[in-house]
Structure 1
Amino acid sequence: MKNLTTNTIALAITLALSASAMAEGMSKGDFNAGKDKISAEYKTAKAHCNSLSGNANDVCMAEAKGKEKVAKADLEAAYKPTQKSRYEARVAKAEADYGVAKEKCDDLAGNPKDVCVKEAKAAETAAKADAKAQMKTAEANATANEKTADARGDASKKTSDARKDASADKSDAEYAVAKEKCDTYSGSAKDSCLDKAKVTYQK
């Protein structure tokens, strides 16, 4: 039991030191080494993609480029840990996911492909809206912590506004998907589908 407690304390100290080191960012040398590693991994992934053909190659390249973009953004956020760099890392992830999803839609045709692309865009919009809301909320809270009760009230309002903006962006994207799905119908059935979408998304 004593050994277990000692190990637990040692682990806690190690984790605390690691967290402290991460909070302070990383050295320029580690940053450059990280960039070299990302570049090497991208070259390896690209070489693998070259063995594929058609849309499989396109999807593979989109995944390779996406991983490189996300890795670079994450590295930058670790090197310069700010709200902006963390936001940009989330945006990079959303854009990378969209790039891959869009390429995968090329395996489809007609309306299913259109719906696939709209759904991919809606997912990207939602992820970006969440990232923006997180950044605004964090910035507002940081300001509030430094200032008075008035600032805290202002922070609360900014947080609320950011969440409303995020919800509006998501709703618009989901409405676009719903409208695209209505294109599978015609005449009164399509009109009914569009009316239902308008009511659902309050358009």
Structure 2
Amino acid sequence: MQQKSRIVAAILVSLACTGWAGQAVAATGQAKALYKSANEQAALKYKTARAQCDSITGNPKDVCIAEAKAVRAYDEAVAQAQYTNTLRAYTKARIKIADANYDVDLARCGALTGNDKDVCVKLAKSTKIAALADAKADKKVIEARSDAREAKRKAEYKVAAEKCDALAGAARDDCIKAAKIQFDE
């Protein structure tokens, strides 16, 4: 349960980060080092968690292994998204996290039988479908807002440039230069 809340919190953090995701940033040496370090930490955490699963048997072992894999998938997906810093990368990370959570849920369903197992599997699928739909919908919303912001900026530039047409000579040129700077044209 604690892991579920951690993953949900990570999804919310990734949503907050997607506001910046529209702007790809060139990978610096420091960013590469952080990315490499995060992946190494993810592998180390996985090995430690996986080793703890060896003392368990049966379905609890399957759940333990699935949870260890989910934590690794989460850490790697977030590291990749932060390193790449694009909307697509954050969406892809959310999809990987949803897949990992689904695998954990299926492992938990393995302990059940009959109708209880059927309901558990259907719930796991429903949860995954909802998470995937949310990730894709959030991506579309962010893209739409970005497009709207761009359209507004262009329209405001056109208004400013039109105002400059009332001027003549150097004053007009200065006005247009100022408008281009202000509206990033």
TM-score, normalised with respect to structure 1: 0.60
Aligned to 1:168: none
Distance 1:40 1:148 in 2: 48
- C-alpha distance after superposition, 1:2-28 (max 9, x if no partner): xxxxxxxxxxxxxxxxx9xx9867611
Aligned to 1:130: 134
Identity of aligned residues (%): 41
Aligned to 1:34: 38
**Counterpart residue type for residue 86 of structure 2:** T
Deviating above 4 A after TM superposition, structure 1's stretches of 4 or more consecutive aligned residues are: 22-26
In terms of Rg, which structure is larger? 2
- C-alpha distance after superposition, 1:53-109 (max 9, x if no partner): 111110000001111111101001111111111111211221111111111111110
Question: Does residue 104 of the first structure (1) align with residue 108 of the second (2)?
Answer: yes
TM-score, normalised with respect to structure 2: 0.65
**Counterpart residue type for residue 142 of structure 1:** S
Aligned to 2:91: 87
1:40-119 to 2 correspondences below 5 Å: 40-119=44-123
Shift of 1:148: 5.2
Distance 2:34 2:74 in 1: 17
**Counterpart residue type for residue 54 of structure 2:** N
Distance 2:95 2:140 in 1: 14
Question: Is there any run of 5+ residues in structure 2 with no aligned partner, and where?
Answer: 1-16, 156-185
RMSD value, Cα: 2.4
RCO (CA 8 Å, sep 6+): is it higher in 1 or 2?
2
